Amino acid sequence: MVMHKTQSHRRYLASSRFVRVLGTKRAMEKIVNDFVINVATANGTGSQSSNLIILHSMFEMGVPVSGKNLFPSNISGLPTWFIIRASDRGYQAPGDGTNIQILMNKDTWIKDLEGLEPGTIVIYNEDVKMPVERDDCVLLGMPMTKMARKINPKLGRLIANMYYVGAVAHLLGVEEDAIEKAVKAQFKGKEKAVELNIQAISEGREYANENWDFDCQFIVESRDKDPDTFLIEGNEAIALGSIYGGISMLSWYPITPSSSLAESVINWLPELRSDGDGGSTCAVIQAEDELAAAGMVLGAGWAGGRGMTCTSGPGISLMSEFIGLFYFSEVPGVIWDVNRVGPSTGLPTRTQQGDLSMLYEASHGDTQHIVLIPGTVDECFEFGWRVFDFAERFQTMVFGFNDLDLGMNRWKTSGFTYPDSPMDRGKVVRSQEEMDSIPEYGRYRDVDGDGIAYRTLPGSGLDPILYRGTGHDEDGVYSEDPQVYHDAMARLKRKIDGAREHLPAPVIREEEKKDLGVIFYGSMENSIVEIDDMLEESGLSVSTCRVRALPLHSGVEDFVRRHDRTIVLEINRDGQLFGIIRKEFPAELIPKIHSVSYSDGMPPRARVYSDMILEVLEGL
Amino acid sequence: MLKLNVLELEKSEYTGGKSSLCPGCGHDQISNNIIQAAWENGIPPEKVAKMSGIGCSSKTPAYFLGKSHGFNTVHGRMPSVTTGANLVNKGLSFLAVSGDGDTASIGIGQFVHAIRRNLDMVYIVENNGVYGLTKGQYSATVEKGSKKKKGVANQQAPIDLCAMAINLGCSFVARSFSGSKKQLTALIRAAMSHRGMAFIDVISPCVTFANNDESYKSYNYVKANDEVLHILDYISHFSPIEEVEVPEGEYQEVSLFDGSTLRLETLAADHDYTDAVSALSAIHQSEKAERHVTGLLYYDDNVPTATDTLGLSETPLVELSEDLLRPSPDSLEKVNSGFRS
């Protein structure tokens, strides 16, 4: 998929608006739909609802907006930040700095305040009773807790957060209708909560209006909102995708950030996967650990079902022995990895692309696995169903690779597209007639020349064999013969290699002038437009290539060939995709491919990566 | 003329490949009993799924029921693979073989959770107290004071898998000895007729590493110290008259899920197989006396199975057509519009 960037991509730049408005007090250059809000609160105080209301109300107005939840590994009390960015240019990265800082949390108050650029607007809860010593910033206080307690003494702490929603709405000019819609969506069906929170937001708005003598230069302005669009987390999109992919067994073990994927499947099953007589067409089981979860997927795939589990890096480590057995015994199955920072507990609530090379070669001995890498919520849905087709077609375990940023934050979609092809159940022999039509059938015999053999299912009575990890010949009979083992491994290599051109091709946005190609994948999609624009400010002509699957499609190598220099851009320390490319691409291409890789647990900030790219290019 | 079973199949339809275990291994006798039990019960071989982990015992599915699919999985993790297969195809009869290393050490977590879910399967542990394939290390079921052929006597307390299973609420718990053909065959037949987890711990001497008289799991020791609870007769639902005669003494009858019956002829003290406390007491008393209690220890036919509790479709999930597995285009429109409003 190659798209020429000149039309599609540049329009973001053209739509950036700087409008002159005459204010009541003084003339001021208004900055429309281009700002970053940072909300500092404590975990477990209900601030997630307030933040999502700000996000959704702007989204309702058609303002291009994105939200990032930076939360700790904790249920209550530790600091959490929420970043909301509005950008008519469609930028979704967290942004370079903060334009509006909201201070609610005593514990991070001083540090948050110290880090602000001069001129930042600071909205703070006066009732926290912390010093606000920044004369170079705009300081706007409000007794949020006191006001909230007046409405409801018991829920004061939770409702206090709604006052900053009112304050932000006042400063930016967020429409009341939009706020009301967002509140109703947030507290669906809970009328009392809707009423209470709207009252608090209105009071916050009124207080700001009456007490703050300040004309905010940042404003929101309605855009034509595509009525089809909505925001959704990547994990829920994958869950829905898997339901439309005919998942018949989900086994899972709770681990952040993948639990919400399993829980979404559980939530949607009653509505979408009932057999008409009240029976579910998908079994869900909470396993005793990740080893068992993987084993259950293996059992389901072996018996002819569509089994899936979801986990994060530590879970993949535990599943690795089974992953090798999937590969060697050639049983289909699906494992989603929602990547968080490792190792072990690592930073369990922070994002990273640090599992890629582990997935590609997980387990002992010679292995290689298919990995699907969505970069948008639409692809989360699409790969969510397609992954089962790949698993059954290639008779192997297929990974979906997601990360916390894409999985647990909300992203825009225009609605999910129904699968465009029927389920591909792969080469399964289901009757004696089918069996008779295959010349020289053997469970592991490559009769079609594509590396994929035919299989039969338990219960069918057709060519029963004992599946195992030990060596087996083409008929599935135990063998430790050196040539038999060698040939089996060569066929497996051929089988997975053969998948390359069937897997999702890279998405390429290409310039006519081939100065620089940037190869990236997954959630970096949300920062790449901004990185690209920053690089082009330096006069470079930049094309981008988003990898969507391993093993790599030939389109990636062609992309490298067409460009003078190529950067492989990743959210990890060592450049894991770069390592795979260096190993697999022809030696003559390697000198013009360079790695830029950085990970600190934060969603990728465009400036960090564009600066690093420029630095690498300067050093060449 | 060859004898046929209720499906008019010869016994050879239930045999498997040639064993590669040591000559005289207790496990081969168990394989023969499995063949006998499956044949006598008239189980369609193609409906059986043979499951195992890793170890000497776990190799045996290659030696019986050659007409059945099977999976020799990874060490200690056979229960999870069985769970996945069972959830998507509850129409299969799962017959699993594991060992004391495979179950009582590396696989103890999965053993526990398979019981907790009352997975519908026959779970046989071929228990010899040693790791055979790695050449004779003690396993966790070896008794304190028991000594294998080489090395010092074991000083650690054993894990009694039957006691553990009873404590976990396992619906069918039995212990037997690979040398007790009649008892073991009856128990395997009853286990196959049970719906839910049927666990049989079979003491199976390792002739190579632990068949010396100081080993509590040697042939001589078990023969001399087998505390048999009752004489067992299995009466199949399809030919209840032919198989056994009514004994003269006292007996109890256990009704099994498929309509068959297990008759227990009381030998010594009464054993109440419906009472977990009584079963545990029998185990602990024999352990104290350094003996092995064998027979049906505990039975409860009123425990829902894993698939019962999940509210699944009546039809096994693997048999559902695509229109039931993939919701309609209209439903996706509804999902989308739900998010939009």
| CATH number for the domain harbouring residue A118 | 3.40.920.10
The reply to whether A499 falls in a domain is no
Q: Which of A59, A230, A248 to mutate to test the interface with B (most CBs of B within 10 A)?
A: A248
Asked whether the beta carbons of residue A288 and residue B112 sit closer than 8 angstroms, the reply is yes
* pLDDT for A244 beyond 70: yes
Q: Are A271 and A332 contained in the same domain?
A: yes
Q: What's at B145, amino acid-wise? A: G
Question: Which of A367, A398, A413 marks a domain boundary?
Answer: A413
Provide the domain count of chain A.
Answer: 3
Q: What is the mean pLDDT of chain B?
A: 95
The reply to whether A500 falls in a domain is no
Residue A461 per-residue DSSP state: -
Q: Are A65 and A132 contained in the same domain?
A: yes
Which tokens is A184 given?
Answer: 């109703």
Output the pLDDT for position A271.
Answer: 97
Name every chain A residue with its beta carbon within 8 A of the beta carbon of B309.
none
The reply to whether A12 falls in a domain is no
The reply to whether B240 falls in a domain is yes
> Residue B54: which domain range?
14-309
Which of A271, A416, A459 shows the shortest C-beta gap to B91?
A459
Q: Are A240 and A193 contained in the same domain?
A: no
Asked whether the beta carbons of residue A457 and residue B66 sit closer than 8 angstroms, the reply is no
Residue B57 CB neighbour total at 10 angstroms: 31
The reply to whether A226 falls in a domain is no
Which of B68, B86, B109 shows the shortest C-beta gap to A464?
B68
Provide the domain count of chain B.
Answer: 1
ipTM reported for the complex, 2 dp:
0.97
Q: Are A200 and A301 contained in the same domain?
A: no
Name every chain B residue with its beta carbon within 8 A of the beta carbon of A478.
62
Alpha-carbon A340 to chain mean position: 11
Q: Are A213 and A240 contained in the same domain?
A: no
Q: Are A301 and A363 contained in the same domain?
A: yes
Which range is least confidently modeled, A172-176, B79-83, B109-113, B228-232?
B228-232
d(CA A82, CA A239) in angstroms, rounded, equals 25
The reply to whether A269 falls in a domain is yes
For position A267, which CATH number holds?
3.40.50.970
Asked whether the beta carbons of residue B109 and residue A304 sit closer than 8 angstroms, the reply is no
Are the CB atoms for B198 and B95 separated by under 8 Å? no
The reply to whether B335 falls in a domain is no
Helix (H) or strand (E) holding A317: helix A313-329
Output the pLDDT for position A225.
Answer: 87
Which tokens is A444 given?
Answer: 């592991």
Output the pLDDT for position A4.
Answer: 59
CB hemisphere CA count around A604 (13 angstroms):
31
Q: Are A212 and A289 contained in the same domain?
A: no
Average pLDDT over residues A352-367: 96
Phi, psi of B240 (to 5 degrees): -65, -25
Average pLDDT over residues A319-332: 98
Output the pLDDT for position B287.
Answer: 94
Q: Are A212 and A282 contained in the same domain?
A: no
* pLDDT for B183 beyond 70: yes
Q: Are A173 and A290 contained in the same domain?
A: no
Query: How do residues A247-269 score in pLDDT, each as one tens digit?
Result: 999 999 999 999 999 999 999 99
Question: Which of A194, A219, A244 marks a domain boundary?
Answer: A219
Q: Which residues are CB-neighbours of A567 under 8 A, at least 6 positions away?
A: A516, A517, A518, A519, A593, A594, A595, A596, A613, A616, A617
* pLDDT for A619 beyond 90: yes
Count chain A–chain B contacts defined by CB atoms under 8 A: 219
Q: How far is A325 from chain B (nearest CA, A)?
A: 8
On the 0-12 / 13-18 / 19+ scale of CB atoms within 10 A, A480 is exposed
Q: Are A131 and A243 contained in the same domain?
A: no
Asked whether the beta carbons of residue A275 and residue B89 sit closer than 8 angstroms, the reply is no
Name every chain B residue with its beta carbon within 8 A of the beta carbon of A385.
326
Q: How far is A322 from chain B (nearest CA, A)?
A: 7
The reply to whether A522 falls in a domain is yes
Name every chain B residue with its beta carbon within 8 A of the beta carbon of A322.
74, 77
* pLDDT for A20 beyond 80: no
The reply to whether B339 falls in a domain is no
A534 by DSSP, 3-state: which? helix
Output the pLDDT for position B269.
Answer: 67
Label each residue of A386-435 as H, E or C: HHHHHHHHHCCEEEEEEEHHHHHCEEEECCCCCCCCCCCCCCECCCHHHH
Output the pLDDT for position A516.
Answer: 97
For position B229, which CATH number holds?
3.40.50.970
The reply to whether B333 falls in a domain is no
The reply to whether B319 falls in a domain is no
How confident is residue B2, by pLDDT bands cut at 50, 70 and 90? Answer: confident
Helix (H) or strand (E) holding A30: strand A27-32
Average pLDDT over residues B305-309: 95
Q: How far is A166 from chain B (nearest CA, A)?
A: 23
Average pLDDT over residues A157-161: 93
Query: How do residues A130-143 score in pLDDT, each as one tens digit?
Result: 999 999 999 999 99
The reply to whether A60 falls in a domain is yes
Output the pLDDT for position B268.
Answer: 63
Question: Which of A381, A413, A445 marks a domain boundary?
Answer: A413
Output the pLDDT for position A19.
Answer: 36
d(CA B68, CA B17) in angstroms, rounded, equals 12
Asked whether the beta carbons of residue A303 and residue B324 sit closer than 8 angstroms, the reply is no
Q: How far is B245 from chain A (nearest CA, A)?
A: 36
The reply to whether A453 falls in a domain is no
For position A579, which CATH number holds?
3.40.50.920
* pLDDT for A222 beyond 90: yes
Label each residue of A328-367 as H, E or C: HHCCCEEEEEEECECCCCCECCCCCCCCHHHHHCCCCCCC
Q: Are A240 and A207 contained in the same domain?
A: no
Average pLDDT over residues B14-43: 97
Nearest-CA residue of chain A relative to B114?
A: A288
Output the pLDDT for position A457.
Answer: 98
* pLDDT for A388 beyond 70: yes
> What proportion of chain A, given as a percentage, has pLDDT over 90?
91
Which tokens is A76 given?
Answer: 């209550």
How confident is residue A320, by pLDDT bands cut at 50, 70 and 90? Answer: very high
> Residue A189: which domain range?
25-219
Q: Are A207 and A287 contained in the same domain?
A: no
Output the pLDDT for position A13.
Answer: 38
